Structure 1
Amino acid sequence: MPTPDRTSLDAIVLAACDLLEKEGLAGLTMQAVANRVGVQAPSLYKRLQSRNELIQLVAEASLTELAGRLNSAPSPLQLANRFRAFGHERPAAFQLVMTPGAGIPVARPEFGAAASEAILRLAGTLAGADHALEAARTLTAWAAGFVSMELNGSFKLGGDVERAWEFGVARIVEAIAATPSS
Protein backbone atom coordinates (compact mmCIF):
# COMPACT_ATOMS: atom_id res chain seq x y z
CA MET A 1 0.00 0.00 0.00
CA PRO A 2 1.51 3.40 -1.00
CA THR A 3 2.21 5.96 1.68
CA PRO A 4 -0.15 8.94 1.76
CA ASP A 5 0.98 12.28 0.43
CA ARG A 6 1.83 14.54 3.35
CA THR A 7 2.24 17.78 1.46
CA SER A 8 1.35 19.47 -1.79
CA LEU A 9 3.44 21.27 -4.35
CA ASP A 10 1.67 24.51 -3.39
CA ALA A 11 2.62 24.03 0.26
CA ILE A 12 6.20 23.31 -0.73
CA VAL A 13 6.47 26.45 -2.88
CA LEU A 14 4.81 28.59 -0.20
CA ALA A 15 7.25 27.30 2.40
CA ALA A 16 10.14 27.92 0.00
CA CYS A 17 8.98 31.51 -0.64
CA ASP A 18 8.88 32.16 3.10
CA LEU A 19 12.24 30.52 3.61
CA LEU A 20 13.77 32.59 0.81
CA GLU A 21 12.83 35.80 2.62
CA LYS A 22 14.04 34.59 6.00
CA GLU A 23 17.24 32.77 5.01
CA GLY A 24 18.12 34.02 1.54
CA LEU A 25 18.79 31.93 -1.52
CA ALA A 26 21.66 30.07 0.17
CA GLY A 27 19.27 28.97 2.93
CA LEU A 28 16.69 27.71 0.46
CA THR A 29 17.64 24.05 0.67
CA MET A 30 15.56 20.96 0.14
CA GLN A 31 16.18 19.95 3.77
CA ALA A 32 15.04 23.34 5.09
CA VAL A 33 11.88 23.23 2.97
CA ALA A 34 11.18 19.65 4.05
CA ASN A 35 11.52 20.70 7.69
CA ARG A 36 9.03 23.52 7.10
CA VAL A 37 6.40 21.29 5.53
CA GLY A 38 6.96 18.42 7.97
CA VAL A 39 8.34 15.72 5.69
CA GLN A 40 11.66 14.07 5.06
CA ALA A 41 13.75 15.74 2.34
CA PRO A 42 13.59 12.72 -0.01
CA SER A 43 9.77 13.08 0.01
CA LEU A 44 10.08 16.40 -1.79
CA TYR A 45 11.39 14.57 -4.83
CA LYS A 46 7.91 13.10 -5.33
CA ARG A 47 6.91 16.63 -6.37
CA LEU A 48 10.18 18.20 -7.56
CA GLN A 49 13.09 17.03 -9.62
CA SER A 50 15.68 19.29 -8.01
CA ARG A 51 16.47 22.41 -5.98
CA ASN A 52 16.79 24.26 -9.28
CA GLU A 53 13.19 23.40 -10.11
CA LEU A 54 12.16 24.61 -6.65
CA ILE A 55 13.95 27.93 -7.20
CA GLN A 56 12.28 28.27 -10.60
CA LEU A 57 8.87 27.66 -9.00
CA VAL A 58 9.62 30.26 -6.32
CA ALA A 59 10.55 32.77 -9.04
CA GLU A 60 7.32 31.97 -10.87
CA ALA A 61 5.24 32.34 -7.72
CA SER A 62 6.97 35.65 -7.02
CA LEU A 63 6.22 36.95 -10.52
CA THR A 64 2.61 35.80 -10.17
CA GLU A 65 2.33 37.76 -6.92
CA LEU A 66 3.93 40.81 -8.52
CA ALA A 67 1.56 40.59 -11.50
CA GLY A 68 -1.40 40.48 -9.13
CA ARG A 69 -0.21 43.64 -7.42
CA LEU A 70 0.48 45.51 -10.65
CA ASN A 71 -2.54 44.47 -12.72
CA SER A 72 -5.03 46.71 -10.93
CA ALA A 73 -2.79 49.79 -10.79
CA PRO A 74 -4.73 52.62 -12.42
CA SER A 75 -1.77 54.95 -12.99
CA PRO A 76 1.96 54.78 -13.70
CA LEU A 77 2.72 56.24 -10.26
CA GLN A 78 0.63 53.63 -8.47
CA LEU A 79 2.15 50.88 -10.61
CA ALA A 80 5.66 52.08 -9.76
CA ASN A 81 4.75 52.36 -6.07
CA ARG A 82 3.36 48.82 -6.03
CA PHE A 83 6.50 47.55 -7.75
CA ARG A 84 8.62 49.29 -5.12
CA ALA A 85 6.45 47.99 -2.28
CA PHE A 86 6.93 44.44 -3.57
CA GLY A 87 10.68 45.00 -3.49
CA HIS A 88 10.58 46.27 0.08
CA GLU A 89 8.21 43.58 1.34
CA ARG A 90 9.86 40.69 -0.50
CA PRO A 91 13.47 41.77 -1.07
CA ALA A 92 14.86 38.28 -1.68
CA ALA A 93 12.09 37.48 -4.18
CA PHE A 94 12.64 40.86 -5.83
CA GLN A 95 16.31 40.09 -6.27
CA LEU A 96 15.53 36.58 -7.52
CA VAL A 97 13.28 37.85 -10.30
CA MET A 98 14.99 41.15 -11.14
CA THR A 99 18.70 40.33 -10.77
CA PRO A 100 19.05 36.57 -10.30
CA GLY A 101 22.74 36.31 -11.08
CA ALA A 102 24.62 33.79 -13.16
CA GLY A 103 23.54 30.19 -12.79
CA ILE A 104 20.40 30.93 -10.78
CA PRO A 105 17.27 29.31 -12.21
CA VAL A 106 14.73 31.77 -13.60
CA ALA A 107 11.00 31.69 -14.23
CA ARG A 108 9.62 30.49 -17.52
CA PRO A 109 9.01 33.36 -19.98
CA GLU A 110 5.24 33.29 -19.66
CA PHE A 111 5.51 34.34 -16.01
CA GLY A 112 7.64 37.34 -16.90
CA ALA A 113 5.20 38.20 -19.66
CA ALA A 114 2.26 38.06 -17.24
CA ALA A 115 4.08 40.30 -14.77
CA SER A 116 4.79 42.73 -17.62
CA GLU A 117 1.20 43.09 -18.86
CA ALA A 118 0.25 46.00 -16.61
CA ILE A 119 3.39 48.01 -17.33
CA LEU A 120 3.04 47.39 -21.06
CA ARG A 121 -0.57 48.53 -20.96
CA LEU A 122 0.21 51.72 -19.04
CA ALA A 123 3.33 52.38 -21.10
CA GLY A 124 1.28 52.05 -24.26
CA THR A 125 -1.19 54.58 -22.91
CA LEU A 126 1.66 57.01 -22.21
CA ALA A 127 3.89 56.50 -25.24
CA GLY A 128 1.59 54.92 -27.79
CA ALA A 129 1.41 51.34 -28.99
CA ASP A 130 4.50 51.70 -31.18
CA HIS A 131 6.69 52.59 -28.17
CA ALA A 132 5.02 50.57 -25.41
CA LEU A 133 7.81 48.01 -25.09
CA GLU A 134 10.58 50.62 -25.02
CA ALA A 135 8.65 52.73 -22.52
CA ALA A 136 7.92 49.73 -20.29
CA ARG A 137 11.58 48.70 -20.33
CA THR A 138 12.68 52.24 -19.47
CA LEU A 139 10.35 52.53 -16.49
CA THR A 140 11.08 48.99 -15.30
CA ALA A 141 14.85 49.40 -15.58
CA TRP A 142 14.81 52.70 -13.70
CA ALA A 143 12.48 51.42 -10.97
CA ALA A 144 14.33 48.10 -10.56
CA GLY A 145 17.64 49.93 -10.31
CA PHE A 146 16.30 52.41 -7.77
CA VAL A 147 14.73 49.70 -5.60
CA SER A 148 17.87 47.54 -5.84
CA MET A 149 19.97 50.48 -4.67
CA GLU A 150 17.56 51.07 -1.78
CA LEU A 151 17.68 47.43 -0.73
CA ASN A 152 21.47 47.42 -0.89
CA GLY A 153 21.80 50.63 1.15
CA SER A 154 23.51 52.37 -1.76
CA PHE A 155 22.00 55.83 -1.25
CA LYS A 156 24.65 57.30 1.02
CA LEU A 157 24.65 60.98 0.07
CA GLY A 158 21.84 61.92 2.43
CA GLY A 159 18.68 63.62 1.34
CA ASP A 160 15.18 62.26 1.21
CA VAL A 161 15.06 58.99 -0.72
CA GLU A 162 11.25 59.08 -0.82
CA ARG A 163 11.41 62.47 -2.49
CA ALA A 164 14.00 61.16 -4.94
CA TRP A 165 11.67 58.27 -5.82
CA GLU A 166 8.75 60.60 -6.45
CA PHE A 167 10.96 62.94 -8.50
CA GLY A 168 12.30 60.06 -10.58
CA VAL A 169 8.92 58.47 -11.28
CA ALA A 170 7.46 61.83 -12.29
CA ARG A 171 10.35 62.59 -14.63
CA ILE A 172 10.40 59.14 -16.21
CA VAL A 173 6.65 59.28 -16.80
CA GLU A 174 6.95 62.79 -18.27
CA ALA A 175 9.75 61.67 -20.58
CA ILE A 176 7.84 58.59 -21.72
CA ALA A 177 4.69 60.62 -22.34
CA ALA A 178 6.73 63.06 -24.46
CA THR A 179 7.95 60.25 -26.72
CA PRO A 180 7.29 61.11 -30.38
CA SER A 181 4.59 58.89 -31.88
CA SER A 182 6.67 57.89 -34.91
Structure 2
Amino acid sequence: MPRVGLVSSTVTAAAADVADEIGLSQLSMSLVAERLGVKAPSLYKHVNGLADLTHRIAALGAVELGDALRDAMQGLAGRDALAAAAQTVRTYVKEHPGRYAATTGASPTGTDDPLAVALDRTLESFAAVLRAYRLDPGEQIHAMRMLRSILHGFATLESSNGFQLDADIDDSFTWMITFVDRGLTAAGAP
Protein backbone atom coordinates (compact mmCIF):
# COMPACT_ATOMS: atom_id res chain seq x y z
CA MET A 1 0.00 0.00 0.00
CA PRO A 2 1.41 3.46 -0.93
CA ARG A 3 2.57 5.72 1.88
CA VAL A 4 -0.12 8.20 2.90
CA GLY A 5 0.60 11.62 1.40
CA LEU A 6 3.08 10.28 -1.13
CA VAL A 7 1.87 10.78 -4.69
CA SER A 8 3.64 10.99 -8.04
CA SER A 9 3.76 14.80 -7.92
CA THR A 10 5.46 14.69 -4.50
CA VAL A 11 8.00 12.18 -5.79
CA THR A 12 8.61 14.33 -8.87
CA ALA A 13 9.08 17.52 -6.84
CA ALA A 14 11.52 15.80 -4.48
CA ALA A 15 13.46 14.33 -7.40
CA ALA A 16 13.58 17.74 -9.10
CA ASP A 17 15.01 19.28 -5.94
CA VAL A 18 17.65 16.55 -5.71
CA ALA A 19 18.53 17.00 -9.41
CA ASP A 20 18.91 20.75 -8.88
CA GLU A 21 21.21 20.15 -5.93
CA ILE A 22 23.50 17.42 -7.28
CA GLY A 23 22.91 17.38 -11.03
CA LEU A 24 20.50 15.38 -13.14
CA SER A 25 23.17 12.85 -14.09
CA GLN A 26 23.64 11.95 -10.41
CA LEU A 27 19.94 11.42 -9.71
CA SER A 28 18.92 7.97 -8.53
CA MET A 29 15.80 6.37 -7.15
CA SER A 30 17.61 5.64 -3.89
CA LEU A 31 18.50 9.32 -3.39
CA VAL A 32 14.90 10.35 -4.01
CA ALA A 33 13.66 7.67 -1.60
CA GLU A 34 16.14 8.86 1.02
CA ARG A 35 14.90 12.44 0.57
CA LEU A 36 11.32 11.29 1.08
CA GLY A 37 12.14 8.97 3.98
CA VAL A 38 10.96 5.81 2.24
CA LYS A 39 12.55 2.71 0.73
CA ALA A 40 13.36 2.92 -2.98
CA PRO A 41 10.94 0.12 -4.00
CA SER A 42 8.01 2.14 -2.63
CA LEU A 43 8.67 4.83 -5.26
CA TYR A 44 7.71 2.40 -8.00
CA LYS A 45 4.11 2.66 -6.83
CA HIS A 46 4.19 6.27 -8.00
CA VAL A 47 6.64 6.33 -10.95
CA ASN A 48 7.83 3.71 -13.43
CA GLY A 49 11.54 4.04 -12.79
CA LEU A 50 14.24 6.62 -13.31
CA ALA A 51 13.43 7.29 -16.98
CA ASP A 52 9.79 8.02 -16.12
CA LEU A 53 10.87 10.19 -13.20
CA THR A 54 13.27 12.15 -15.42
CA HIS A 55 10.47 12.67 -17.95
CA ARG A 56 8.22 13.96 -15.16
CA ILE A 57 10.98 16.35 -14.04
CA ALA A 58 11.27 17.59 -17.64
CA ALA A 59 7.52 18.27 -17.72
CA LEU A 60 7.70 20.09 -14.38
CA GLY A 61 10.65 22.17 -15.57
CA ALA A 62 8.95 23.03 -18.86
CA VAL A 63 5.78 24.10 -17.05
CA GLU A 64 7.73 26.25 -14.60
CA LEU A 65 9.85 27.86 -17.32
CA GLY A 66 6.81 28.43 -19.53
CA ASP A 67 4.94 30.10 -16.67
CA ALA A 68 7.96 32.24 -15.81
CA LEU A 69 8.36 33.35 -19.44
CA ARG A 70 4.68 34.22 -19.75
CA ASP A 71 4.74 36.25 -16.55
CA ALA A 72 8.00 38.05 -17.36
CA MET A 73 6.93 39.02 -20.86
CA GLN A 74 3.40 40.15 -20.03
CA GLY A 75 2.70 43.37 -21.95
CA LEU A 76 6.20 43.59 -23.46
CA ALA A 77 7.31 43.56 -27.09
CA GLY A 78 10.48 43.86 -29.10
CA ARG A 79 13.73 44.36 -27.22
CA ASP A 80 11.92 44.52 -23.88
CA ALA A 81 10.30 41.11 -24.45
CA LEU A 82 13.61 39.72 -25.70
CA ALA A 83 15.45 40.96 -22.61
CA ALA A 84 12.73 39.64 -20.28
CA ALA A 85 12.74 36.21 -21.93
CA ALA A 86 16.52 36.03 -21.90
CA GLN A 87 16.76 37.01 -18.25
CA THR A 88 14.03 34.51 -17.36
CA VAL A 89 15.86 31.63 -19.03
CA ARG A 90 19.13 32.73 -17.43
CA THR A 91 17.59 32.89 -13.96
CA TYR A 92 15.72 29.61 -14.33
CA VAL A 93 18.84 27.73 -15.40
CA LYS A 94 20.80 29.17 -12.45
CA GLU A 95 18.10 28.33 -9.92
CA HIS A 96 17.00 24.97 -11.37
CA PRO A 97 19.89 23.41 -13.30
CA GLY A 98 18.66 19.83 -12.84
CA ARG A 99 15.12 20.58 -13.96
CA TYR A 100 16.37 22.54 -16.94
CA ALA A 101 18.79 19.75 -17.89
CA ALA A 102 15.86 17.32 -17.90
CA THR A 103 14.03 19.49 -20.45
CA THR A 104 16.96 19.50 -22.86
CA GLY A 105 16.29 16.85 -25.46
CA ALA A 106 13.19 15.52 -23.69
CA SER A 107 10.61 14.19 -26.12
CA PRO A 108 6.88 14.07 -25.48
CA THR A 109 5.30 10.64 -25.61
CA GLY A 110 2.17 11.97 -27.30
CA THR A 111 0.01 15.05 -27.73
CA ASP A 112 -1.63 14.53 -24.33
CA ASP A 113 1.73 14.30 -22.55
CA PRO A 114 2.06 17.23 -20.09
CA LEU A 115 5.56 17.74 -21.48
CA ALA A 116 4.14 18.38 -24.98
CA VAL A 117 1.73 21.00 -23.68
CA ALA A 118 4.41 22.71 -21.60
CA LEU A 119 6.97 22.76 -24.42
CA ASP A 120 4.39 24.23 -26.79
CA ARG A 121 3.72 27.05 -24.29
CA THR A 122 7.44 27.74 -23.97
CA LEU A 123 7.87 27.84 -27.74
CA GLU A 124 4.88 30.17 -28.00
CA SER A 125 6.66 32.56 -25.63
CA PHE A 126 9.70 32.57 -27.92
CA ALA A 127 7.41 33.10 -30.91
CA ALA A 128 5.83 36.06 -29.08
CA VAL A 129 9.28 37.62 -28.65
CA LEU A 130 9.83 37.37 -32.39
CA ARG A 131 6.47 38.80 -33.51
CA ALA A 132 7.51 42.41 -33.01
CA TYR A 133 10.46 41.93 -35.36
CA ARG A 134 8.16 41.30 -38.36
CA LEU A 135 10.24 38.47 -39.74
CA ASP A 136 9.28 36.70 -42.93
CA PRO A 137 7.16 33.67 -41.93
CA GLY A 138 9.71 31.38 -43.59
CA GLU A 139 12.39 32.69 -41.23
CA GLN A 140 10.39 32.31 -38.00
CA ILE A 141 11.54 28.77 -37.22
CA HIS A 142 15.17 29.67 -37.90
CA ALA A 143 14.93 32.71 -35.66
CA MET A 144 13.27 30.68 -32.92
CA ARG A 145 16.02 28.04 -33.07
CA MET A 146 18.67 30.74 -33.02
CA LEU A 147 17.10 32.49 -30.05
CA ARG A 148 16.71 29.27 -28.08
CA SER A 149 20.28 28.22 -28.88
CA ILE A 150 21.76 31.53 -27.81
CA LEU A 151 19.78 31.69 -24.57
CA HIS A 152 20.46 28.03 -23.76
CA GLY A 153 24.14 28.39 -24.51
CA PHE A 154 24.68 31.50 -22.44
CA ALA A 155 22.68 30.26 -19.47
CA THR A 156 24.21 26.78 -19.34
CA LEU A 157 27.75 28.09 -19.79
CA GLU A 158 27.21 30.62 -17.02
CA SER A 159 25.66 28.09 -14.63
CA SER A 160 28.57 25.69 -15.14
CA ASN A 161 31.18 28.44 -14.64
CA GLY A 162 32.10 28.22 -18.29
CA PHE A 163 32.98 31.91 -18.59
CA GLN A 164 36.55 32.20 -17.34
CA LEU A 165 37.54 35.63 -18.65
CA ASP A 166 37.61 38.64 -16.33
CA ALA A 167 34.98 40.61 -18.27
CA ASP A 168 31.74 41.18 -16.38
CA ILE A 169 29.19 38.49 -17.28
CA ASP A 170 26.25 40.89 -16.92
CA ASP A 171 27.91 43.23 -19.42
CA SER A 172 28.32 40.31 -21.83
CA PHE A 173 24.67 39.37 -21.32
CA THR A 174 23.49 42.91 -22.08
CA TRP A 175 25.77 43.05 -25.12
CA MET A 176 24.29 39.74 -26.35
CA ILE A 177 20.71 41.05 -26.01
CA THR A 178 21.61 44.22 -27.93
CA PHE A 179 23.34 42.18 -30.64
CA VAL A 180 20.39 39.80 -31.06
CA ASP A 181 17.92 42.69 -31.06
CA ARG A 182 19.87 44.46 -33.81
CA GLY A 183 20.09 41.29 -35.88
CA LEU A 184 16.38 40.54 -35.55
CA THR A 185 15.50 44.15 -36.32
CA ALA A 186 17.67 44.07 -39.46
CA ALA A 187 16.23 40.71 -40.54
CA GLY A 188 12.67 42.07 -40.27
CA ALA A 189 13.38 45.37 -42.01
CA PRO A 190 11.58 45.91 -45.36
Q: Which of 81, 103, 114 matches 1:97?
A: 103
* CA apart distance, 1:180: 4.0
5+ residue gaps, structure 1, are 101-105
| 2:51 alignment counterpart | 52
SS of corresponding position for 1:47: coil
How many residue pairs get aligned? The number is 175
For the residues of structure 1 that align with 2:41 and 2:159, how far apart are their CA atoms? 35
* Structure 2 residue 113 is matched with structure 1 residue 114: no
CA drift of 1:176 comes to 1.0
CA distance in 1 between partners of 2:96 and 2:174 (Å):
21
Pick closer, same or farther for the CA change 1:92–1:146 going to 2, 3 Å. same
Aligned residue identity for 1:8: V
Aligned ranges 1:1-182 → 2 under 5 Å: 5-72=4-71, 73=73, 74=76, 75-98=81-104, 106-108=106-108, 110=116, 111-128=118-135, 130=137, 131-180=139-188
Q: Displacement, 1:175?
A: 0.7
Deviations 1:106-142 (A, max 9, x none): 2426132222111111212223361332222211111
Task: Give the Cα–Cα distance (whole angstroms) in 1 for the partners of residues 3 and 155 of structure 2.
Answer: 44
Q: Sequence identity of aligned pairs in percent?
A: 22
Bigger RCO of structures 1 and 2 (CA < 8 A, at least 6 apart): 2
Using the alignment, how far apart are the partners of 2:149 and 2:25 within structure 1? 26
Asked whether the 8 Å contact 2:60–2:99 carries over to 1, the reply is: no
Where in structure 2 are there 5+ consecutive unaligned residues? 109-114
CA contact (8 A) 2:133 2:188 kept: no
Aligned residue type for 1:31 = S
SS at 1:14 equivalent? helix
Provide the aligned C-alpha RMSD in A.
2.1
| Counterpart Cα distance in 1 of 2:136 and 2:61 | 28
> Any conservation in 2 of the 1:19–1:33 contact (CA below 8 Å)?
yes
| Superposed CA offset, 1:59-100 (max 9, x none) | 1101111001001212111111111111111122223323x6
What is the TM-score with the length of structure 2 in the denominator? 0.82
